[in-house]
C-alpha cells in the first residue's frame, strides 16, 4: 500500500467557479454536518477569494458567515482553509500591510486553520508578508505556485520561487493549477523536485477540470509525492470546477494509494442540499457553459473560475461588435465565433504583456486587454488602443516582477505615455490605512466588531461594506434576484414587470449618508455607473449636465469579482449594456458619485 492521500473539499471554489454567488450562512451551516458525515475530508476550503465580497453583495455579514460555517467542521477535526491573493489580499487591487496583518488575526479568530497565499506573477516578495503574518498568528502558511504553461514557466522558475518561500518560513506548498492547463508529466516532475529538496513540506494540488487534464494531473502529482488533493462533488464537480471526490478516490485506490472511504448516504444528502441551494436562488446566476469542459482553454490558458465574468463581458460587447461589422458591410459573428476570437487574442497578447500567471487579477487584466483589442480590430484601430490604468500597473511592475519579457511595442507605448517602470517591492507603494478606517467607523458610529473583524471588512472592501451597512446591498440583490427569476420564466428575456431601480432615490440615500459625495449625471441610457476617465486616469467629476466627449467615459459594471471597469462602447452613440440588476438607466439619471 502506498502513502495516504488526503482530500480537501473546495466548497467555496465550487460555487465561485460556477456562479456569481455563494450559499447563505444558514445554508452553509445546514450542509456542514453532512460534509462531516461523509468522512473523507481532512480539509474544507471554506472562505477567502471573493467569498467575503459575495456575502456583502447580497447584504450578509461575511464575518458571521465564516464563524458559523467553520465551527462544525473544526469541532469534527476537519481543517478549514482559506485563499488569499498576497499583495491583493481578498480583493482585486493592492492592500496595505496593516490590513493584510489584521486579516490573519481575524481569520485565525474566526476558525481558519490554513491560509493558501498566491501571486499570479509568482513574485515571492508579494508572499513574504503573507507567510510572516500567517505564522505570527498560528495559521498554517501555504505558499502557492500559480501554474501556467509557457516558455518562461519552467521547473527552474518554480523551484527558485519555492526556495524563497521556504526561506520566509512557509509550512506547505500549494500548486494552484487555476486553469487546469498544467501538463501532468511536468506537474509530476515539479512535485518530485520539491519533495526531494524539501521532504518536510506538505504539497497540496488544486487543479480545475476545464481543459480535461485534471485526472491525469492528480495521478501524476500523487505518484511523485503530493499529500493533499483538492476535489469537488456533484452537482458542481467537473465542468469548470474540480474533479469529483468519488472518481479521484477510485483512481487513487486502484493505483495502490490509501484513501478514506466515502459515506455515500451522506454524499447523496450533500448533493441534494447543494441542488436545493441552486434551486433556491444560486442556480439563477450559474452560466450553463460553466458546466461543460472545453479544451479550447489549453490555448488561451484562462481559468474556469472567471468564465462567468468573461461570458457576461462577451454578452455586453457582442451586440456592439456586430453592429459595427454590419455598418462596414462585414459578416457578423456568432457568440461561439466571438469566443474563439477572444481565446485567440488572449493567446496572442499574453506573452506580449509579460506572461503573467492567468489567475485573479491578472487573468482579468489579460482578458480585458484581449476583449478591447477585439473591439479595436472591428473598429479598424490598432491593438492596445484601449488600456486601463490597472493593466498598465501590471505592465510597469507595480504589482510585482513579470515572469517574462515585455514586447518591444509595449515598452515603446509606455515610454510614449511618459510612464515609469518600477523595480522595487510592490508593498512599499501602499502605506498603512487602518487609522483612516478607524476614524471612519468612529464618525459613522459603527463598532469595530469582535477581534476587529468589522474594521477589517471595511478596510478590505470599503465600497461593498458601506453598501451592506446602509442597506443598499440587500435591496440591490433582491431586485437582481427578482429579475433573474422572471427572466428564467420569460424565456431568457427580462420582462417589463422587473422592479425598477430608482437612481434618484438611491442618490438621496447616498448623499444623506455622505454629504461629501458629488453626483454625476448619466449622459446616455443603458449604463450603470459612470466615472470621467481620460487615458485610463480617473479625473475630477464634471459639473452636472456637462457633455462627455468620445471615449472619455468609463462604465463600471457589477460582475462576479465585484465592480469592474469597462470602456464605453462609443461610435456616434452609446450601445446599451445590460446590467446585473436587469434594469436600464435613463439619460439624466444620477447614477455615480465622486468626491
Percent of the chain surpassing pLDDT 90: 58
Taken as a whole, the chain contains a residue count of: 595
- The answer to whether residues 377 and 324 belong to one domain is yes
- The answer to whether residues 421 and 477 belong to one domain is no
Residue 461 in grid coordinates: 472592501
Count of structural domains within the chain: 3
- Asked if 497 and 583 touch (Cβ cutoff 8 Å), the reply is no
pLDDT in tens, 149-192: 999 999 999 999 999 999 999 999 999 998 899 999 999 999 99
21 domain-assigned: no
518 backbone dihedrals φ, ψ, rounded to 5°: -110, 120
Which band of pLDDT confidence, cut at 50, 70 and 90, is reported for residue 574? very low
Cis peptide bond prior to 129, omega within 30° of 0: no
Which band of pLDDT confidence, cut at 50, 70 and 90, is reported for residue 20? confident
142 domain-assigned: no
- Asked if 536 and 387 touch (Cβ cutoff 8 Å), the reply is yes
How far apart CA 277 and CA 57 sit, in angstroms, is 17
- The answer to whether residues 589 and 500 belong to one domain is yes
Q: Which residues touch 457 (CB under 8 Å, ≥6 apart)?
A: 52, 56, 62, 63, 449, 465
Per DSSP, the three-state class of 579 is coil
83 domain-assigned: no
> Which of 205-219, 306-320, 426-440 bottoms out in mean pLDDT, i.e. has the lowest?
306-320
401 domain-assigned: yes
- Asked if 383 and 413 touch (Cβ cutoff 8 Å), the reply is no
- Asked if 208 and 215 touch (Cβ cutoff 8 Å), the reply is no
- Asked if 18 and 241 touch (Cβ cutoff 8 Å), the reply is yes
Positions of E strands within 456-523: 518-521
- The answer to whether residues 330 and 409 belong to one domain is yes
How far apart CA 175 and CA 190 sit, in angstroms, is 9
Q: Can you give the pLDDT at residue 118?
A: 96
- Asked if 132 and 169 touch (Cβ cutoff 8 Å), the reply is yes
110 domain-assigned: no
pLDDT of 309 strictly over 70: no
- Asked if 173 and 162 touch (Cβ cutoff 8 Å), the reply is yes
Report which of residues 20 and 135 the model is more confident about. 135
Q: Which domain holds residue 450?
A: 433-469
pLDDT in tens, 63-105: 999 999 999 999 999 999 999 999 999 988 899 999 999 999 9
460 domain-assigned: yes
324 domain-assigned: yes
Angle between helices 362-378 and 335-349 (to 10 degrees): 120
Cα 392 to Cα 118, 305, 386, 407: the distances in Å are 21, 23, 11, 14
- The answer to whether residues 362 and 409 belong to one domain is yes
How far apart CA 70 and CA 148 sit, in angstroms, is 31
- The answer to whether residues 455 and 566 belong to one domain is no
Q: Can you give the pLDDT at residue 479?
A: 79
Residue 576 is classified by DSSP as: P
- The answer to whether residues 378 and 450 belong to one domain is no
pLDDT in tens, 195-234: 999 999 999 999 999 999 999 999 999 999 999 999 999 9
- The answer to whether residues 416 and 300 belong to one domain is yes
- The answer to whether residues 398 and 511 belong to one domain is no
How far apart CA 578 and CA 315 sit, in angstroms, is 9
Task: State pTM to two decimals.
Answer: 0.85
Positions of E strands within 384-424: none
- The answer to whether residues 555 and 590 belong to one domain is yes
Of the residues 469, 492, 527, the one at which a domain ends: 469
**Spatial CA neighbour of 374 closest among 358, 386, 389:** 386
pLDDT in tens, 324-352: 888 888 999 888 888 888 888 988 999 99
Q: Can you give the pLDDT at residue 554?
A: 53
- The answer to whether residues 315 and 413 belong to one domain is yes
**Spatial CA neighbour of 287 closest among 563, 554, 7, 20:** 20
27 domain-assigned: no
Residue 317 in grid coordinates: 460587447
Residue 79 in grid coordinates: 481543517
- The answer to whether residues 590 and 484 belong to one domain is yes
Across all residues in the chain, what is the average pLDDT? Answer: 85
Which band of pLDDT confidence, cut at 50, 70 and 90, is reported for residue 546? low
How far apart CA 456 and CA 382 sit, in angstroms, is 43
Q: Can you give the pLDDT at residue 573?
A: 36
146 backbone dihedrals φ, ψ, rounded to 5°: -85, 115
- Asked if 456 and 433 touch (Cβ cutoff 8 Å), the reply is no
Amino acid at each position: 500500500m502506498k502513502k495516504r492521500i488526503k482530500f480537501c473539499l473546495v466548497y467555496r471554489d465550487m460555487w465561485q467557479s460556477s456562479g456569481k454567488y455563494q450559499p447563505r450562512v444558514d445554508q452553509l451551516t445546514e450542509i456542514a454536518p453532512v460534509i462531516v458525515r461523509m468522512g473523507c475530508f481532512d480539509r474544507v476550503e471554506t472562505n477567502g477569494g471573493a467569498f467575503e465580497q459575495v456575502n456583502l453583495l447580497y447584504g450578509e455579514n461575511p464575518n458571521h458567515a465564516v464563524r458559523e460555517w467553520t465551527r462544525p467542521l473544526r469541532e469534527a477535526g476537519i481543517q478549514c482553509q482559506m485563499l488569499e491573493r498576497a499583495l491583493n489580499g481578498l480583493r482585486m487591487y493592492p492592500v496595505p500591510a496593516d490590513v493584510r496583518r489584521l486579516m490573519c488575526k481575524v481569520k485565525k479568530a474566526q476558525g481558519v486553520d490554513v491560509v493558501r497565499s498566491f501571486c499570479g506573477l509568482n513574485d515571492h516578495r508579494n508572499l513574504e508578508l503573507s507567510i510572516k503574518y500567517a505564522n505570527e498568528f498560528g495559521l498554517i502558511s501555504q505558499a502557492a505556485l500559480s501554474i501556467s504553461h509557457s516558455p518562461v514557466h519552467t521547473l527552474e522558475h518554480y523551484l527558485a520561487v519555492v526556495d524563497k518561500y521556504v526561506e520566509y518560513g512557509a509550512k506547505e506548498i500549494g500548486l494552484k493549477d487555476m486553469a487546469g492547463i498544467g501538463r501532468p508529466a511536468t506537474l509530476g516532475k515539479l512535485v518530485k523536485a520539491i519533495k526531494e529538496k524539501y521532504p518536510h513540506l506538505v504539497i497540496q494540488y488544486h487543479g480545475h477540470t476545464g481543459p480535461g487534464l485534471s485526472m491525469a494531473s492528480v495521478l501524476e502529482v500523487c505518484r511523485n509525492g503530493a499529500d493533499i488533493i483538492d476535489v469537488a462533488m456533484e452537482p458542481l464537480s467537473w465542468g469548470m470546477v474540480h474533479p469529483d471526490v468519488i472518481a479521484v478516490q477510485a483512481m487513487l485506490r486502484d493505483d495502490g494509494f490509501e484513501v478514506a472511504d466515502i459515506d455515500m448516504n451522506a454524499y447523496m444528502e450533500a448533493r441534494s442540499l447543494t441542488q436545493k441551494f441552486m434551486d433556491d436562488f444560486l442556480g439563477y446566476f450559474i452560466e450553463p457553459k460553466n458546466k461543460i469542459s472545453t479544451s479550447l482553454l489549453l490555448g488561451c490558458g484562462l481559468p474556469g473560475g472567471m468564465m462567468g465574468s468573461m461570458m457576461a463581458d462577451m454578452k455586453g460587447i457582442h451586440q456592439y461588435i456586430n453592429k459595427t461589422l454590419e455598418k462596414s458591410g462585414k459578416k457578423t459573428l456568432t457568440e461561439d465565433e466571438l469566443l474563439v476570437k477572444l481565446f485567440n487574442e488572449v493567446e496572442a497578447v499574453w506573452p506580449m504583456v509579460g506572461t503573467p500567471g492567468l489567475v485573479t487579477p491578472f487573468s482579468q487584466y489579460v482578458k480585458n486587454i484581449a476583449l478591447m483589442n477585439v473591439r479595436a480590430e472591428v473598429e479598424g484601430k490598432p491593438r492596445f488602443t484601449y488600456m486601463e490604468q490597472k493593466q498598465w500597473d501590471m505592465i510597469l511592475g507595480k504589482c510585482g516582477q513579470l515572469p517574462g519579457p515585455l514586447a518591444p511595442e509595449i515598452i515603446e507605448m509606455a515610454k510614449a505615455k511618459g510612464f515609469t517602470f518600477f523595480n522595487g517591492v510592490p508593498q512599499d507603494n501602499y502605506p498603512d490605512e487602518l487609522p483612516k478606517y478607524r476614524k471612519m467607523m468612529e464618525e459613522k458610529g459603527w463598532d469595530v466588531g469582535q477581534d476587529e473583524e468589522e474594521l477589517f471588512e471595511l478596510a478590505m472592501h470599503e465600497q461593498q461594506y458601506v453598501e451592506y451597512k446602509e442597506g443598499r446591498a440587500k435591496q440591490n440583490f433582491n431586485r437582481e434576484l427578482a429579475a433573474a427569476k422572471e427572466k428564467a420564466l420569460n424565456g431568457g428575456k427580462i420582462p417589463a414587470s422587473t422592479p425598477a431601480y430608482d437612481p434618484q432615490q438611491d442618490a438621496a440615500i447616498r448623499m444623506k449618508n455622505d454629504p461629501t459625495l458629488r453626483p454625476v449625471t448619466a449622459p446616455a441610457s443603458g449604463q450603470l455607473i459612470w466615472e470621467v476617465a481620460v487615458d485610463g486616469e480617473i479625473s475630477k467629476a464634471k459639473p452636472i449636465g456637462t457633455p462627455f466627449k468620445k471615449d472619455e467615459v468609463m462604465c463600471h459594471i457589477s460582475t462576479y469579482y465585484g465592480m469592474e471597469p469597462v470602456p464605453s462602447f462609443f461610435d456616434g452613440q452609446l450601445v446599451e449594456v445590460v446590467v446585473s440588476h436587469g434594469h436600464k438607466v435613463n439619460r439624466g439619471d444620477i447614477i455615480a458619485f465622486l468626491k
